[in-house]
Amino acid sequence: MAILPIYNCFHPILKKKTEIVEEVNDDFLTLIDNMFETMHIAEGIGLAANQVGVSKSMLVIDIGHFNDKYPYPPMAFINPVITAFSEEDSDYEEGCLSVPTLRENVIRPAEIEVRYFDKDLKEQTLHATNLMARVLQHEIDHLNGILFFEKLTAIRKTLSQNKLKKIKKGIIVPDYPMVMADGRLIQ
């Protein structure tokens, strides 16, 4: 397996909607394995394919890797679509591997239902609650070109501007490889 560089939130690939996955071959399965490895090294619990420079509608989640109280195994979601949202909202602090060190509360639906394809391209449906619902919404937003800080309340957006400017300039960088908006690789 290989560690892939994660793309900075200001890189153009993260602002584009990803393409539908039509075929799963050995290269794609290797990508999934590499994404899990990359996510674990970076101490994340979710990672979308465009965060590693691949504009395909696929993401991986492993919320149990750092916290064994969650019953979900590591999962890959191909072409995921949220088909239902609860009316109840949840306010919870989020971070993002593409936005190093920024953590802010985001309001999202507390429960969702997701239709997706597994690695065998078999259609699946998952009713997700709590942290799994939040991580899925965050990562599916990535696939649609949406970053979590765009969902902040007006006051939280204002308060996060200084940190976002430092991230954009490369003053704040993570301890894992990152591709900056201009294409530079920082290791």
CATH number at residue 73: 3.90.45.10
If DSSP codes are grouped into helix, strand and coil, which group holds residue 34?
Answer: helix
Domain that includes residue 105, residue range? 6-186
- Does 98 reside within a domain? yes
Written as one letter, the residue type at 23 is E
Using 50, 70 and 90 to split pLDDT, how confident is the model at 116? Answer: very high
pLDDT higher than 90, residue 140: yes
139 labelled catalytic: yes
- Does 153 reside within a domain? yes
- Does 54 reside within a domain? yes
Pairwise CA distance, residues 178 & 42, whole Å? 11
Task: Spot the catalytic one: 43, 104, 139, 150.
Answer: 139
- Does 1 reside within a domain? no
pLDDT at residue 65, rounded to an integer: 72
- Does 126 reside within a domain? yes
What Å distances lie between residue 25 and 29, 49, 144, 175, CA to CA? 6, 15, 23, 31
pLDDT at residue 69, rounded to an integer: 73
- Does 56 reside within a domain? yes
Average pLDDT for the chain: 95
pLDDT at residue 32, rounded to an integer: 98
Counting the structural domains of the chain, the total is 1
- Does 41 reside within a domain? yes
78-94 pLDDT tens trace: 999 999 999 999 999 99
31-80 pLDDT tens trace: 999 999 999 999 999 999 999 999 999 999 999 877 667 777 899 999 99
